[in-house]
Structure 1
Amino acid sequence: MKTSHILAAAALSVLAAAGAHAENYEGVQAPVSAVNRADVEAEAARAASAPNQNVVRGSRGAEPFKAVASSESVYAQAVATASAPDQNVSSGSRVNSRVISTMPNRADTLQQAQKQGAPAAK
């Protein structure tokens, strides 16, 4: 029994010795860069000393607002919407109901009166 253990250990050691053969390390591929080492170091130093470099964009506060529409047109649209008749009523407000607007829009009435030069009723 001891002989079989010795032969098994010898076989394993021969296999381990054969498997331990390593290849030569040739290194990584040669770097290809259009920028010299001093420029890379200067850029790294600038990036490392930049303020808020690790802060995500949304956590710095609100971005500057850039208006898409003019203030006058937005105001006119808001007045027209606020003055619209039945603005808070929908067809689902009551069972089997239909919304039929019977009132004129007050903003449209005021604009018509201003165009015609007549004083509008308040």
Structure 2
Amino acid sequence: MKNTKFIAAAALSLLAVAGAHAETYEGVHPLTNGYSRAEVQSQGVAAARSGNAYSDVADSGVQTIVSTADRAKIQAEAVAKAHDPLQSLDRRAFFRDEVPAAYKKPSVSFTRQAGL
């Protein structure tokens, strides 16, 4: 019984030794660059200053946008939105994502009136 276990262990160890040889790593591509350090640095500086050649708008230059909106109208809308007390009211903060009626119309007036 002991001999068969010894022979089986020896056979497995021989198989493990035979299958455990390592390959050498030669890299992905062999090094074929013949540039000096200074040449590589100057090429890097030139590439950095040229911008992104793979961009969608690399060759388009400066783009101008012609707007048809009135500047005064946009400014008036921005001022009205900034003075709206309920502008940051998020419906997701309420039950079933529905803003209660009490919040929809502000009951507070922000203008002062003279009392009689």
TM-score by length of 2: 0.31
TM-score by length of 1: 0.30
| Higher Rg of the two aligned structures | 1
Structure scoring higher RCO (CA < 8 A, sep ≥ 6) equals: 1
